[in-house]
């Protein structure tokens, strides 16, 4: 089967000729450039997954197909950013990013401790990205970016289902209970403010100034979180609760959704939006 047949869409399905420069939001462009870096790194993450699941060829195959789609997300976002900002040199910026952000590609054990834990973390990331691109699609008036975000958000939710299916399999094999899955989940939320996103934001947008992790993550969060609305957060919490094994529509889920909304609101306050 060819690469193209494996995918639900290609870059040729994007209506590039509808690009409207007057509708480009410069703040959104900064986070789109950063997202392109992280997405384009998908093959490296697949290498890590294949190493962790070294005796599971069915999962390895799924992970490689998943990576093709993630890399395509990176290509689509990078192409859009280059149309919006012809001076944006994606290749040079990505080279900087991939040199700095190194994943443990030869790890024989998941950094989350168990395979089920790894899959819970993957579910969370896919829920996060699906909500993120849905929020961007609803916030942008630029038609090409809107079309890209719509297609990516659909892929991300399929990715969630893919990892959820494998997670269920390993949950039975490894007997990983709710509390352990919850711990993985909490740990993964902490990682959302780690170097990968901060450096992606810096690599994509810096003008030669030195890297300041705290400042970059603040700038990234204050911009990215501002696009989320309550319904994006509620949906994300529902899917994450399902992956962890808690009732997705219970009182606890409602409370966490409210707290998450408050946190996103708090973190999306005014900031200099500069990587410097």
Binding site for Fe ion (CB under 5 A): 39, 70, 73, 126, 156, 159
- Measured from the CB atom, is 159 or 188 closer to Fe ion? 159
- Whole-number minimum distance, CB 54 to Fe ion, in Å? 22
The helix/strand/coil state of 176 is coil
Instruction: Give me the least distance between CB of 67 and Fe ion, in Å please.
Output: 9
The SS3 call for residue 111 is coil
As measured in angstroms, the least distance from the Cβ of 69 to Fe ion is 7
Which C-beta is closer to Fe ion: that of 72 or that of 206? 72
Q: Pick between residue 159 and residue 180 the one whose CB is nearest to Fe ion.
A: 159
**Helix and strand counts by DSSP (H, E) for the chain:** 12, 0
Residue 175 beta carbon to Fe ion: minimum distance, rounded to whole angstroms = 27
Q: How crowded is residue 180: how many other Cβ atoms within 10 Å of its Cβ?
A: 20
Nearest distance, CB of residue 10 and Fe ion, angstroms: 15
Q: Which long-range contacts (CB under 8 A, 24 or more apart) does 246-255 make?
A: 246/178, 246/182
CB of 141 to Fe ion, least distance (A): 22
Q: Which is nearer to Fe ion, 88 or 133 (CB)?
A: 133
The residue (of 39 and 142) whose beta carbon lies closer to Fe ion is 39
* Contact between residue 244 and residue 112 where contact means Cβ atoms under 8 Å apart: no
| Beta-carbon count within 10 A of 222 CB | 17
At 89 the three-state DSSP class reads coil
Nearer to Fe ion, 139 or 261 (CB): 139
Distance CA 116, CA 230 (A): 29
Q: CB of 117 within 8 A of CB of 110?
A: yes
Phi-psi label, residue 70: left if phi above 0, alpha if psi -120 to 50, beta otherwise: alpha
CA–CA–CA angle 229, 34, 161 (5° rounding): 60
């Amino acid at each position: 089967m060819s690469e193209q047949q494996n995918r639900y869409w290609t870059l040729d399905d994007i209506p590039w000729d509808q690009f409207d420069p007057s509708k480009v939001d410069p703040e959104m462009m900064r986070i789109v450039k950063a997202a392109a870096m992280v997405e384009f790194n998908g093959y490296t993450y697949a290498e890590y997954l294949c190493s962790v699941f070294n005796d599971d060829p069915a999962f390895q195959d799924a992970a490689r197909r998943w990576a093709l789609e993630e890399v395509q997300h990176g290509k689509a976002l990078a192409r859009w950013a280059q149309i919006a900002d012809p001076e944006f040199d994606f290749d040079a910026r990505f080279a900087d990013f991939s040199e700095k952000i190194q994943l443990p590609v030869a790890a024989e054990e998941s950094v989350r401790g168990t395979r089920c834990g790894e899959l819970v973390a993957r579910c969370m990331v896919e829920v996060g990205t699906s909500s993120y691109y849905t929020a961007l699609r609803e916030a942008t008036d630029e038609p090409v970016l809107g079309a890209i975000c719509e297609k990516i958000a659909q892929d991300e939710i399929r990715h969630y289902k893919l990892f959820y299916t494998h997670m269920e399999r390993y949950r039975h094999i490894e007997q990983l209970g709710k509390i352990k899955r919850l711990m993985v989940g909490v740990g993964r939320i902490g990682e959302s403010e780690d170097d990968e996103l901060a450096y992606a934001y810096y690599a994509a947008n810096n003008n030669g100034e030195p890297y300041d992790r705290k400042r970059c993550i603040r700038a990234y969060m204050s911009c990215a979180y501002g696009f989320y609305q309550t319904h994006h957060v509620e949906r994300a919490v529902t899917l994450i609760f399902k992956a962890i094994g808690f009732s997705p529509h219970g009182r606890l889920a409602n409370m966490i959704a409210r707290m998450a909304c408050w946190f996103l609101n708090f973190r999306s306050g005014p900031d200099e939006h500069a990587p410097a």
